[in-house]
Structure 1
């Protein structure tokens, strides 16, 4: 399922001034990992929010296959996200009162899976990210790296074709960053992964890097094709 943006533009008012957060962004994201980099204020987070349907463009559109995401209602966009997209955030966003197992199973609950099936699927995913011994731990009893691995397992619960990662290693120490990065690229290999990051070393592991500046796509590179 192809994710593509056509002439994607986002403007908003800041007092009496009009701010252009993103301008004329057009790109079709191929399978595999695409990293989006650029200085603060370059439009990275705006782009991710538009691609995921969290926000709507001022001009242009986002298409998931033949579906115009920008033309759907808020409830319809939420349904598309649940069925077709997974998300890994810098702050993990785990539900503090749910165990690791319950956090991973939560999207399956929303999708209507029966209890036994969703707990089985969640346990399998937690085993994949090396947390089979932490199934019944609350987030407060997990390290930052463990919480991010739970978040990654949760993002993959419904096997989405599109995976968004927003600064997924930003709050982790060096060892945890490496663990999460390895899992992210390994588990995201068979899908379209859009990775927003300030970490250029992490970005270099993607098949493509999109450079944003001033809300515009100024350069694309394919680091793995070098040398």
Structure 2
């Protein structure tokens, strides 16, 4: 379980103090939580703090009973590897590695032996419909295919927490729908935290958190159409 307590981030911009996030408290349950709000509302700041990619000015982030904000940089990196997966808007695939090698990369970092890495990566690619593209480099894949590889990589170590930052922002309508279906399917089995400008995508989550001016305005439970 991931929870934030009075999470606040301030920084200096010349002589001015900017409050990027203030007093955010929330416990993220299993399933999908979408975070929405206008540009500058604190969405990306919040994601970075929740993942331990940045440290708060005040408050804290707890991974179970582990105070993530009190760990060293190396300890936070280890926690991310073991407990978190990430899908970004820009895919961030390693251009010199094939699709399956990209998916297997977290397994390499975790010390898995070669045969098990390959088998796990190929199984994950099959799960996102890309088994036939396993040996292709990223530049031979479409944008939608690259994003599905990125999702498979994020799931390599079966993390209990999955972060997705604008995961459909660069995709056409068909690829967006494919990615959304896979993402929310993965979110049923873990805690999915989705940052998006796309309100239709957000409405597919179990709950929506609305941010504005660095503050949590409200939590919404979308009405599901039968």
Q: Is TM-score (shorter-chain normalized) higher than 0.5?
A: yes
Quickly name the TM-score band, shorter chain normalised.
over 0.9
Which residue in the other structure is 1:129 paired with?
Answer: 128
Which residue in the other structure is 1:109 paired with?
Answer: 108
Q: Secondary structure at the match of 1:183?
A: helix
CA distance in 1, matches of 2:116, 2:225: 44
CA distance in 1, matches of 2:21, 2:73: 21
**Runs of 4+ with >2 A deviation:** 224-227
Which residue in the other structure is 2:187 paired with?
Answer: 188
Which residue in the other structure is 1:212 paired with?
Answer: 211
Alignment of 1:151-166 (within 5 A): 151-166=150-165
CA distance in 1, matches of 2:104, 2:4: 31
Deviation of the 1:188 alpha carbon:
1.9
CA distance in 1, matches of 2:14, 2:44: 21
Q: CA RMSD in A?
A: 1.0
Deviation of the 1:225 alpha carbon:
6.2
CA distance in 1, matches of 2:90, 2:225: 33
Structure 1: segments with no counterpart, 5+ residues: none
Structure 2: segments with no counterpart, 5+ residues: none
CA distance in 1, matches of 2:223, 2:165: 21
Matched, 1:94 2:88: no
CA distance in 1, matches of 2:15, 2:150: 40
- 1:88, 1:168 within 8 Å by CA — same for their partners in 2? yes
TM-score by length of 2: 0.99
User: How far does the alpha carbon of each residue in 1:147-186 deviate from its partner, in whole angstroms, 9 at most, with x for none?
Assistant: 0000000000000000000000000001000000000001
Which residue in the other structure is 2:46 paired with?
Answer: 47
Q: Secondary structure at the match of 2:46?
A: helix
TM-score by length of 1: 0.98
Q: Secondary structure at the match of 1:127?
A: helix
User: How far does the alpha carbon of each residue in 1:12-52 deviate from its partner, in whole angstroms, 9 at most, with x for none?
Assistant: 00011000000000000000000000000000000000000
- 1:97, 1:138 within 8 Å by CA — same for their partners in 2? yes
CA distance in 1, matches of 2:224, 2:17: 40
Deviation of the 1:226 alpha carbon:
8.1
Which residue in the other structure is 2:56 paired with?
Answer: 57
CA distance in 2, matches of 1:33, 1:86: 14
CA distance in 2, matches of 1:156, 1:105: 10
Which residue in the other structure is 1:148 paired with?
Answer: 147
Which residue in the other structure is 1:76 paired with?
Answer: 75
Aligned residues: 226
Matched, 1:16 2:15: yes
- 1:163, 1:192 within 8 Å by CA — same for their partners in 2? yes
User: How far does the alpha carbon of each residue in 1:82-115 deviate from its partner, in whole angstroms, 9 at most, with x for none?
Assistant: 0000000000000000000000000000000000
CA distance in 1, matches of 2:185, 2:76: 28
Deviation of the 1:224 alpha carbon:
4.0
- 1:205, 1:224 within 8 Å by CA — same for their partners in 2? no
